[in-house]
Copies of this chain bind each other. A is one copy, B any other.
Amino acid sequence: MEITAIHEFTVKIIHEAGERIRQSLSEKLEIETKANANDLVTNIDRETELFFIEQIHAYDPAFKILGEEGMGEPLESLDGVVWIIDPIDGTMNFIRQHRNFAISIGIYVDGIGKLGYIYDVMRNDLYYAVEGQGAYMNDRQLERLQSLPLHEAIIGINATWVTPNRYIDHNKIIDLVHHVRGTRSYGSATLEIASVVCGRMDAYMSMRLSPWDIAGGAVIANEVGAIVSNLGNEAINLEEQDTFIIANPKIHKTIIEQYVHLK
């Protein structure tokens, strides 16, 4: 696989998709619900995923595609070249805020992350990495994360996980919230992951993320020394929904061991 050519192609189609999404904001969105009333999808999510599928298959029909909106073929394994795509992460922000949403793409070969992208569409900020070649935000190389104590950390966590829930003991998360310097919640997993790889936050965790939420970010994370895993400290799962944490290496283990009690 010619990594450089694919990287240039991916940057090009991400910017094209971003421009289409920005133009769509002046039109009326068609909004539908998916699994529940708070899980929304728009015609633009679907059109963007279709745009990517068409472009990618025109480039190489052998590429496999796993997309949030399920418009690619069913994925039976991670063998070969697999593109894992979220056309719009943060759909609720897209609908309500017209900002704070992102395109995310991870390109994996036989399950190994080779290229990762998170594109903040309205800020026009592209976070990306090529395996072994460092990570970038636009044309600026990202530094490896510097260590810091947990009590100085800013943690991305949705308020839901601080309330009783079926995944973890929320009382331990209350302890975590009290211990750290601050918490944030942006409503877009990929933009929260992007904040961690840039050192703007020091960890982000969620009880329920899908492969397309984390595939791009995980490649970028590796290049800056951020640790990604599920909340059981196992490798991330790119075939199904799971818990997730990305953290500064200094605090990853402490958060999992001292503050995460999975049910």
A contacts, CB < 8 Å to B: 37-38, 92, 96-99, 123, 151, 154, 157-160, 162-164, 174, 177-178, 181-187, 195, 199-201
CB pairs A–B below 8 angstroms (6 shown): A96-B201, A99-B200, A157-B159, A160-B178, A163-B177, A186-B186
Chain B residues with CB under 8 A of A157: 159
Total copies of the chain? 2
Q: Whole-angstrom distance between the alpha carbons of A69 and B183 in the complex?
A: 24
Q: Whole-angstrom distance between the alpha carbons of A187 and B183 in the complex?
A: 8
Q: Are B38 and A96 in contact (CB under 8 A)?
A: no
Chain B residues with CB under 8 A of A37: 151, 181
Cβ distance A21 to chain B, nearest Cβ, rounded Å = 17
Q: Which of B96, B160, B195, B201 is within 8 Å of A183, CB to CB? A: B160
Q: Which of B164, B174, B185 is within 8 Å of A164, CB to CB? A: B174
Which one of A151, A163, A174 has the highest number of Cβ atoms from chain B below 10 Å of its Cβ? A163
Q: Are B163 and A96 in contact (CB under 8 A)?
A: no
Q: Whole-angstrom distance between the alpha carbons of A177 and B159 in the complex?
A: 7
Q: Are A182 and B178 in contact (CB under 8 A)?
A: no
Cβ distance A130 to chain B, nearest Cβ, rounded Å = 25
Q: Which of B38, B98, B151, B185 is within 8 Å of A159, CB to CB? A: B185
| A184-B187 contact given A178-B163, A200-B97, CB 8 Å threshold | yes
Cβ distance A192 to chain B, nearest Cβ, rounded Å = 11
Q: Are A159 and B187 in contact (CB under 8 A)?
A: no
Which one of A98, A123, A159 has the highest number of Cβ atoms from chain B below 10 Å of its Cβ? A159
Minimal Cβ-Cβ distance residue in B for A125: B99
Q: Are A184 and B186 in contact (CB under 8 A)?
A: yes
Q: Whole-angstrom distance between the alpha carbons of A186 and B38 in the complex?
A: 21
Q: Are B181 and A92 in contact (CB under 8 A)?
A: yes
Q: Whole-angstrom distance between the alpha carbons of A239 and B195 in the complex?
A: 36
Q: Whole-angstrom distance between the alpha carbons of A96 and B187 in the complex?
A: 20
Cβ distance A175 to chain B, nearest Cβ, rounded Å = 9
| A154-B96 contact given A174-B163, A178-B163, CB 8 Å threshold | yes
Q: Are B97 and A195 in contact (CB under 8 A)?
A: yes
Q: Whole-angstrom distance between the alpha carbons of A123 and B199 in the complex?
A: 19
Q: Whole-angstrom distance between the alpha carbons of A200 and B163 in the complex?
A: 24
Cβ distance A38 to chain B, nearest Cβ, rounded Å = 5
Minimal Cβ-Cβ distance residue in B for A158: B183
Chain B residues with CB under 8 A of A174: 163-164
Q: Whole-angstrom distance between the alpha carbons of A38 and B174 in the complex?
A: 17
Q: Which of B38, B98, B181 is within 8 Å of A182, CB to CB? A: B38
